[in-house]
C-alpha cells in the first residue's frame, strides 16, 4: 500500500515539474549577437519563452551580456514595456504580459551594438 502511494506521489511530482515546460512557447529570435572580441556571429545567448496560461515572458541569459535593454512593442511598433537588465546580476527575467497590448508585437534585446528580436503570439 505504501509503495503504491509513493509511486503515485512520484508520478504526480514528475508531472508538476514537467507541465510548465510543455505550457511555454519558445521565442524564435531573429537578428544577430556577436561576441565583442570576434567578428563572427554566435548562437543567440538568450532563451525566451512565453507561458500562455500565465501570460508571462521569461528571458534566460545564457551568459553575461553586460547591460541590455529589453523592449516590448505592440503590433503598431509602439513601445509598451522597456527595462534595463544587468545580465551579470540578473540572469533570468520574467515579464508579465497581462495588460500590455503585446500580442502580435515584438520583444527585443539590445546592448547598443547587438540586436535580437522575436514575435509575440499569445
Specify whether domain 25-119 bears CATH 3.40.190.290. no
The predicted-structure confidence for 23-82, as pLDDT tens digits, reads as follows 677 877 877 776 655 555 567 889 999 999 999 999 999 999 999 999 999 999 999 999
Dihedral sign from CA coordinates of 59, 112, 84, 88: positive
Is-contact 50 120, C-beta < 8 A?
yes
**30: which residues sit within 8 A by CB, 6+ positions away?**
116, 117, 118
Mean per-residue pLDDT over the chain, rounded: 83
pTM, full prediction: 0.69
Q: Mean pLDDT throughout 101-111?
A: 93
Question: What is the C-alpha separation between 86 and 79, in angstroms, rounded?
Answer: 20
Task: Return d(Cα 50, Cα 4) in angstroms, integer.
Answer: 36
Q: What is the pLDDT of residue 12?
A: 57
Segments making up each domain of the chain, as ranges? 25-119
5 CB-contact burial (10 Å; exposed 0-12 / middle 13-18 / buried 19+) = exposed
Residue 58 pLDDT: 96
Task: Report pLDDT for 22.
Answer: 56
Task: Quote the cell numbers at residue 13.
Answer: 511530482
Amino acid at each position: 500500500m505504501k509503495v503504491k502511494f509513493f509511486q503515485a506521489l512520484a508520478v504526480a511530482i514528475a508531472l508538476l515539474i514537467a507541465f510548465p515546460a510543455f505550457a511555454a512557447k519558445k521565442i524564435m529570435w531573429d537578428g544577430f549577437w556577436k561576441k565583442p572580441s570576434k567578428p563572427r556571429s554566435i548562437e543567440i545567448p538568450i532563451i525566451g519563452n512565453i507561458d500562455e496560461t500565465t501570460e508571462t515572458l521569461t528571458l534566460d541569459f545564457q551568459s553575461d551580456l553586460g547591460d541590455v535593454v529589453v523592449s516590448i512593442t505592440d503590433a503598431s511598433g509602439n513601445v509598451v514595456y522597456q527595462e534595463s537588465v544587468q545580465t551579470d546580476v540578473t540572469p533570468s527575467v520574467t515579464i508579465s504580459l497581462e495588460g500590455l497590448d503585446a500580442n502580435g508585437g515584438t520583444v527585443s534585446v539590445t546592448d547598443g551594438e547587438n540586436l535580437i528580436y522575436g514575435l509575440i503570439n499569445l
